[in-house]
Structure 1
Amino acid sequence: MASRKGGSSGGEGVRSLELELEKMSVEQLRAFKEQTDMEVNLLHDSLNNIRTATSRLDIASAALHDLSLRPQGKRMLVPLTASLYVPGTLDEADKVLVDVGTGYFIEKTMADGKDYCERKIKLLRSNFDQLIEIATKKKKVADEAGLILQAKLRQMGATA
């Protein structure tokens, strides 16, 4: 079996789970492991999505900072897509449109736009940390189920 670490309540919970897993049949263990592995994969997908969103917000925050340094009336290239830019003039340097999702934009001051980005980044990082913890626990459960399944299969092979 895998080694265990943790306090008294954590150790008891792990031991309880181990006992429950050992009571399962081989078919139940296989199904449980597959389900847990699928949940771990979904959590990893969510972590990647959060990483991508955080990265985009970091870029947006940096762009707002750069924009705030430009003088009003300054000619510049305006991004329409990631690879398409058109010439434009900075009209109002203190007002920005913030994409709040599903095609909705809100006009905010530059300071409010920066604050919005920072709050969203902080929220995403908090969610990321929580998901890492959950994914780690799920992975340990899946690994434990795999170990018990292997032991049961070896035991069945030895008796056959």
Structure 2
Amino acid sequence: IGTPDYMAPEQVSGRRGDVRTDIYSLGVILYEMLTGHLPHSGPNVYNVMRAKTAEDPQPPSAFKPDLDPHLEEIILHAIERSPRDRYASAAEMLADLRDPSRVVPKGRAQNLHPRSLTLQRARRTAGYVLFFTSLIGIFVFLIWLANRYPASPTPPRRSYRGQVR
């Protein structure tokens, strides 16, 4: 299948790749060559694979501030999460790499929103706390309602001979 650090998100999701999958891998290699870092990192392979399908990478300029914005645009175009947003062919990417100045920066680096694992865990924990607090509130409300409007007393039952039980 491939080395997880260089796998495209569609491969991580179990789908077949095409030429754009290879373009993604090439984009990761360029990213790493220019910054010394991988676009997605984590404590283990599973976190890296999850990040590829759910998180945006750090812009290369976060690691190398003097990076040419045209080159950064090429790299980010190559490692787009969705294959339809990447270069359609290696020839198209090669043309941009030969003359990066012709690439119009589209602001990909400014539109990235990398999320830290800590922030995601905090949001998930807050969601659980809210859910269980709501559940407890519903039970308290139902108990209050039951005490406020008690059930009416049942009339005494008579036996088959007319005697009250």
TM-score of the aligned structures, taking structure 2 as reference length: 0.31
**Whose Rg is larger?**
2
TM-score of the aligned structures, taking structure 1 as reference length: 0.32
More strand by share: 1
More helix by share: 1
